[in-house]
């Protein structure tokens, strides 16, 4: 079994109170716990303890957590990552609130990724017995779950190789400078049936571009946009469609300046999915299919 999913995104925020307004009230996540300088959230369709951790002080990504099915899977990934030359440390139950044993990998891109197979189970409000379709009194966007993250790195080819060789991810889409002499400048990788569970584009190591929430459909994306207008949330781009992944999207910023996305639709992937290639000259269409214009903000703003 491969890595199951993106389990948590741990971010720094400059001010916890305004971040709570954004993640709790505007996006409608549920606060499940808090400790000194940190708050833990989950979306309504997530049954594990948390999927977003906010830590006060600074801005940007602390780490991502990917949930694996078993501890044997983690042991296998540990030895592969070591052989690859990545630095790997063990983490034990309690190092992260509600998270069991696992490993902490420093990627070739200098980002931290944790693998774990156990997190405290909280369940969802609709539950698992004759459930309603969604929580009747959801707040704001009422996001069901997180979906993927996009990070920047100096060497996307190396990071792609790491995810493929060590963690059994597969590339759904790639952006290359020139197909005749391809330098990889972006890679979208999946471990589930979605178009991507993580992606990297060329940029500085250790930097965070965005993480995304899954929404049910395009009308939910437009409704989210209305709520961003009501709550004066700065919108980066959208609503539009991505050429890459085919998803419908809006990018926006949290109160610390970390970019978030709401994402819907997109295709299904399987282990035999034929990788799609985009050339750099068509990148603007690949990123924003409708407008076909890359703005400087989208390419230069990272935290």
Question: Which among Fe ion, another protein, none contacts residue 236 (Cβ within 5 to 8 A by kind)?
Answer: another protein
End-to-end CA distance of the chain: 33
**Does the annotation mark 248 as catalytic?**
no
Catalytic hit among 22, 49, 209, 210: 210
Of the residues 22, 196, 209, 248, which is catalytic? 196
Q: Which of 46, 78, 160, 261 binds Fe ion (CB under 5 A)?
A: 261
How far out from the chain centre does Cα 142 lie? Answer: 17
Closer residue to another protein in complex, CB, 58/131: 58
- Residue 228 CA to residue 25 CA, distance in Å, equals 11
Q: What is the DSSP string of 178-190?
A: -TTS--EEEEEEE
8 is catalytic: no
- One symbol per residue from 194 to 213: x for binding Fe ion (CB under 5 A), - otherwise; what is it? ------------------x-
Tell me which of Fe ion, another protein, none is bound by residue 261, counting a contact when its beta carbon lies within the kind-specific cut-off of 5 to 8 angstroms: Fe ion
How many C-beta neighbours within 10 Å does residue 165 have?
13
How many residues belong to the site for Fe ion (CB under 5 A)?
Answer: 2
Q: Which residues in this chain contact another protein in the complex, by CB under 8 A?
A: 12, 14-15, 18, 57-60, 234, 236, 253-259, 296-297, 300-303
CA 180 to chain centre: 31
Distance between CA 89 and CA 105 in Å, rounded? 7
Residue 143 makes contact with Fe ion by CB under 5 A: no
Active site residue 148: yes
Residue 254 or 261: the one with the smaller Cβ distance to Fe ion is 261
Question: 139: which residues sit within 8 A by CB, 6+ positions away?
Answer: 24, 25, 28
Asked if 66 is an active-site residue, the reply is no
Q: In the annotation, is 210 catalytic?
A: yes
Is 261 annotated as catalytic? yes
Distances 96 to 19, 59, 62, 116, 153 between C-alpha atoms, Å: 20, 19, 12, 10, 26
Residues between 24 and 63 with contacts to Fe ion, criterion CB under 5 A: none
CA-CA distance, 72 to 78, in Å (whole number)?
10
Q: What are phi and psi of 60, to 5 degrees?
A: 105, -175
Q: Which parts of this chain interact with Fe ion (CB under 5 A)? A: 212, 261
- Residue positions annotated with a catalytic role: 148, 196, 210, 242, 251, 261
């Amino acid at each position: 079994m491969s890595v199951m999913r993106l389990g948590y995104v741990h971010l720094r925020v400059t001010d916890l109170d305004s971040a709570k307004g954004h993640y709790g009230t505007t996006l409608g996540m549920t606060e499940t716990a808090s400790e000194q300088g940190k708050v833990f959230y989950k979306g309504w369709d997530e049954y594990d303890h948390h999927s977003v951790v906010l830590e006060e002080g600074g801005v940007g990504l602390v780490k991502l957590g990917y949930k694996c099915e078993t501890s044997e899977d983690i042991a296998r990934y540990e030895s592969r990552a070591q052989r690859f030359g990545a630095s790997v440390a063990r983490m034990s139950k309690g190092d992260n609130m509600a998270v069991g044993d696992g490993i902490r990998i420093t990627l070739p891109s200098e980002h931290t990724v944790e693998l774990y197979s156990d997190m405290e189970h909280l369940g969802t409000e609709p539950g698992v017995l004759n459930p309603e379709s969604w929580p009747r009194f959801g707040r704001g966007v009422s996001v069901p779950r997180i979906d993927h993250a996009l990070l920047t790195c100096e060497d996307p080819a190396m990071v792609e190789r790491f995810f493929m060789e060590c963690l059994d991810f597969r590339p759904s889409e790639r952006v290359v400078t020139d197909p005749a002499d391809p330098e990889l400048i972006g890679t979208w990788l999946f471990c589930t049936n979605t178009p991507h569970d993580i992606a990297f584009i060329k940029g500085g190591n250790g930097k965070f571009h965005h993480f995304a929430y899954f929404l049910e459909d395009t009308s939910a994306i437009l409704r989210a946009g209305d709520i961003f207008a009501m709550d004066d949330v700065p919108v980066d781009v959208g609503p539009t469609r991505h050429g890459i992944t085919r998803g419908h999207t809006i990018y926006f910023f949290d109160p610390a300046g970390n970019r978030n996305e709401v994402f819907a639709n997109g295709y299904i992937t399987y282990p035999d999915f034929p990788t799609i290639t985009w050339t750099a000259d068509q990148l603007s269409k690949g990123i924003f299919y409708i407008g076909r214009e890359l703005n400087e903000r989208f390419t230069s703003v990272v935290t």
